[in-house]
Amino acid sequence: MPDLLPDEFRFAHEFAFFLHNRLVHILTRGEREDAYGVKITLRSKTKATEFTNLSGEHLWKWLKENGHDQSLRELAYKQVFAALLSDFSHFIFEALDCSRKGKLTVTYALLRKPLRDNLHYLEWLLVDPENFIDVFQGEVLPRMDLQRAKALVEKSVARVPNHEMFDPEVIYRLRFESGHVGLDGICDQALHLVTHRSDIATEVGNFNFVFSNTEDNLNQWRHIYFTVPYLLDYTVDLCEVLIASVMGQVLSDYPEIALRRFIGLIVWSQDLATQPTEVVQALPQPRIQEMPLVCSKCSKPIEPQLEDLRRFFIAEYIKCPHCRRRLRLSDLSQ
Q: What is the DSSP code string of 94-116?
A: HHHHHHHTT-HHHHHHHHHIIII
Cα(206)–Cα(211) distance, integer angstroms? 7
Residue 290 belongs to a domain: no
109 lies in some domain: yes
- Containing domain of residue 131, as a range? 7-251
Q: Check residue 82 and give its pLDDT.
A: 97
214: region left, alpha or beta (phi > 0 left; psi from -120 to 50 alpha): alpha
pLDDT for residue 211: 80
| Strand ranges for the chain from DSSP E | 293-295, 301-302, 317-319, 326-328, 332-333
Give the dihedral of Cα atoms 252, 152, 21, 35; nearest 10 deg.
50
* Rounded Cα distance, 171 and 186, in Å: 16
Closest CA to 222 of 1, 18, 2, 13: 13
User: Is 232 a domain residue?
Assistant: yes
| Measured distance CA(59)–CA(20) in Å, rounded | 31
Q: How many domains does the chain divide into?
A: 1
pLDDT values of the chain reduced to their tens digit, one per residue, 334 residues: 789 999 999 999 999 999 999 999 999 999 999 999 877 766 666 666 666 665 666 676 767 767 667 878 888 999 999 999 999 999 999 999 999 999 999 999 999 999 999 999 999 999 999 999 999 988 888 889 999 999 999 999 999 999 988 999 999 999 998 877 789 888 888 888 888 887 778 787 788 788 888 898 999 999 999 899 999 999 999 999 999 999 999 999 998 899 899 889 888 988 887 765 655 666 666 665 556 678 888 888 888 888 888 988 998 888 888 898 888 877 765 4
Beta-strand relationship, 301-302 and 332-333: unpaired
| pLDDT of res. 181 | 77
Residue 296's contacts (CB-CB under 8 Å, 6 or more residues apart) are: 327, 331, 332, 333
Q: Give the C-alpha separation, 122 to 82, whole Å.
A: 10
Structural domain includes residue 161: yes
pLDDT of residue 26: 98
User: Comparing C-alpha atoms, which of 85, 107, 112 is closest to residue 94?
Assistant: 107
